[in-house]
Chains A and B, each alone.
Chain A
Amino acid sequence: MSEAIFCDDLLTAAFPGILKHDPICAKSSHFTVPKDRLPAISHYIHTQPSLRGRLTLLWACDDRPVRDSYGLYYLFTLEASHHWVVLSTELAGHDRLFPSITPHIHAAQWYEREIRDMFGLIPQGHPDLRRLVRHEHWPKGTHPLQKDFSWNNVLERQQGEYRFHHIEGEGVFEVPVGPIHAGIIESGHFRFSVAGEPIMQLELRHFWKHRGVEKLFEQLTLTDAVLLAERVSGDTTVGHALAYCQAVEALLHLEVPRRANYLRSLFLELERLYNHLGDIGAMCNDTAYALAHAHCGRLKERIMQLNDRLTGSRFLRGVIEVGGVTQDIESRRLVEIVEELSHIQSDFSEVGAIIFANASLTDRLETTGVLNERTAWDHAVIGIVGRASGRDCDLRRDRPFAAYDELPVNVALYRYGDARARLRVRGDEIHESIRLIREVRDKIPNGPIASQPRSLPKPGAWTLAAVEGWRGEILYMVMAGEDGRIHRCKVRDPSFVNWPAIQWAVLGNIIPDFPLINKSFNLSYAGNDL
């Protein structure tokens, strides 16, 4: 609490005009600021040594049906205390302009372009106003998240071409890759500029898979939309469902039973396990080390089959619901799970020893795709990628959710920021997840596994929830509408933040190493494109 008072005092003293509100959730502060002060205040929060706020989320909301204005919200996480600071401002009447904070805070770049595309609000002073989500064939003036844009309005096509950044000079040429790739990978476009072998520039062109998820949320009720959250990014089914449910539960003032919280942690760790095992295998495969790939694929499959036996879904679909979980795991099954995981752990330790003893593999991984700590901070990089670059952040420890307040987590941290560090973070987290599941078995209390929602939230009430999924921090902002519907849901997969950083990590590397670097990040296209 003292942290809240300290930060609030600091801000109100430095900027007398700002207005303090009730916090939207625990460990947070909320201020309304005049829009022209936004750049100054956010710059202050970002750079002030005792605050060091990392831009965590930036979203807009079309409130016109009720209030004749658009709302803009900026969420910062303070570096030392992990306290949240929300700044909000309004664009009233016909005002469509807001000052860009990108010149000071690089991490705002994509958010502001996204807001421009989806709402038609223009960030003034933004250095790059090309379209991001709307590809060039979308007609002018289509902004899907405006309330008067109908959700099932079929778009027409127009002519248009995306202008890539070009590097010119003798011997420089461009290599376009995608949107359809050679392996079984999601769709995205990469444009490399190379001179000889080293990459001089990489430009991403994503959002091919934009499905209109945020608009679809607005057509659903608070309790039904879990199904959609599960399908935002399939490999993070539990992470997204959990983050969404936590937000809704906060809106409904719903207390989740302790047993359900433990089971939620169990499912989240199972999801982390199969993804990390798969990633380690895939990274080895990209260095042409097929043996390790086969072993990891086998281990991953064991966990997915375990999921299937436990819940009837290999991706743990349908286990998280608003209020708790849908399936109980008896203690006899828990003992079985732990036994199976102990086998997998010793199996993986042997595979790990084989992997790390391989000199040619180490040679490929070391100093490949280095993302240094400074760049990681500038781009607000999070999750496994952040932890491999010295960014010590893990929500399970920093802002505990589910049962993590009773399950302390040892956070894996490496500083080199290369592909090998990202591999090591995953390896460590596999052991840590299995340890946590053992703790779940020992500590899980008896009791109910779900509580029933009784009331509906007030229209316009909103809240934020965050979950450390296997990739990193997943954020949901849910604003309630009429009759238990959703007025606005902002989804933020960690991929959206980490994608731009890959453009820096590849510089100076050679194109044949790009698949490896990409795999070591392993970001979701679906979760990014929404």
Chain B
Amino acid sequence: MFRIIKKSLRIGVVTGRYQKANKPELPVTPEAQDRARLFKRSLAIREVDTGSCNACEMEMNALLNPVYDADRFGIHIAASPRHADALVVTGPVTVNMERALKDVHKQTSDPKIVIALGDCAINCGMFKGSYAVTGPVERHIPVDVRIPGCPPRPAEILAVLSELQGKDNTA
């Protein structure tokens, strides 16, 4: 027990120890911000992978580690689309995942926000044109927010989400 407490005391607080991102490349639209206002200061996110290379997922996961700790901004991951305010979609939409994506979108209660994370979700990236890809995401469901990058850094994701929530998460 002492070992654990000693370790925690020695490490101290690591939250916020990352290089802050610049202003997002693609600004968040006022409509999306309006919709996000309904969720007050929290945002429950459901992540859907429609054929990513898994680097985008890893960066989403990184948001939850003690360094970024997205929870402190009211951002958390919902286990079911029914509990979600926002869908984060990664990857080009593959033929096999197309139906699942539409289902999830339908199951997410309104009002909802769809966030396309990564170049693949926005424009299929390197997989554009392939026989097995039917994407991008906006071809299947309406997209409100786009976060470009391959993959975007967690700090960049946070910057966009804070703009969406209309608050300053960079502090």
Contacts and interface: CB of A to CB of B under 8 A. Distances in A.
Contacts of A211: 51, 92, 94, 127, 130, 132-133
A351 B67 contact: no
B55 A298 contact: no
B65 A298 contact: yes
B131 A212 contact: yes
Contacts of A314: 59, 153
Interface in B44-62: 47-62
Contacts of A305: 18-19
A234 B125 CA distance: 14
A155 B151 contact: no
Contacts of B92: 211
Interface stretch (B3-11, B26-34, B163-171): B3-11
A517 interface: no
Nearest to B63: A184
A186 B54 CA distance: 7
Contacts of B53: 231-234, 526
B91 interface: yes
B109 interface: no
A151 interface: yes
A-B complex: 9 closest residue pairs judged by Cβ atoms:
A234-B55, A297-B65, A212-B132, A234-B53, A212-B130, A182-B79, A152-B129, A209-B51, A231-B53
Interface residues of B, number: 52
Nearest to A219: B129
Nearest to A357: B3
15 contacts: A185-B49, A207-B96, A209-B50, A211-B127, A215-B131, A228-B126, A234-B54, A234-B57, A237-B55, A298-B14, A305-B18, A308-B153, A314-B59, A347-B11, A526-B51
A155 B54 contact: no
B80 to A, nearest CB: 7
Interface residues of A, number: 59
B131 A304 contact: no
B77 interface: yes
Contact of A212 (B57, B79, B127): B127
Contacts of A347: 11
Given A208-B96, A357-B3, 13 more contacts: A135-B95, A138-B95, A149-B131, A151-B130, A153-B131, A209-B49, A209-B91, A209-B97, A211-B92, A234-B56, A235-B55, A297-B62, A347-B11
Contacts of A297: 62, 64-67
B126 A231 contact: yes
A524 B52 CA distance: 11
B123 interface: no
B70 to A, nearest CB: 12
A187 B60 CA distance: 15
B38 interface: no
Interface residues of A: mostly helix, strand, loop or mixed? loop
Contacts, number: 157
Contact of B50 (A187, A237, A300): A187
Interface of A: 135, 137-138, 144, 149-155, 179-180, 182-187, 207-213, 215-216, 227-228, 231-235, 237, 278, 291, 294-295, 297-298, 300-301, 304-305, 308, 314-315, 317, 347, 350-351, 353-354, 357, 524-526
Contact of A184 (B4, B55, B57): B57
Contact of A208 (B80, B100, B133, B150): B100
B104 interface: yes
A209 to B, nearest CB: 4
Contact of A291 (B4, B51, B133, B150): B4
A187 B131 contact: no
B94 A317 contact: no
Given A184-B77, A234-B55, A298 B11 contact: yes
A408 B61 CA distance: 34
A209 B104 contact: no
A67 B104 CA distance: 47
A373 to B, nearest CB: 29
Contact of B132 (A144, A179, A291, A524): A144
B131 A525 contact: no
A317 B66 CA distance: 24
Nearest to B103: A180
B97 A208 contact: yes
Contacts of A317: 150
Nearest to A282: B61
Most B CB contacts (10 A, CB to CB) among A234, A298, A304 go to A234
Contacts of A234: 52-58, 151
Nearest to A153: B131
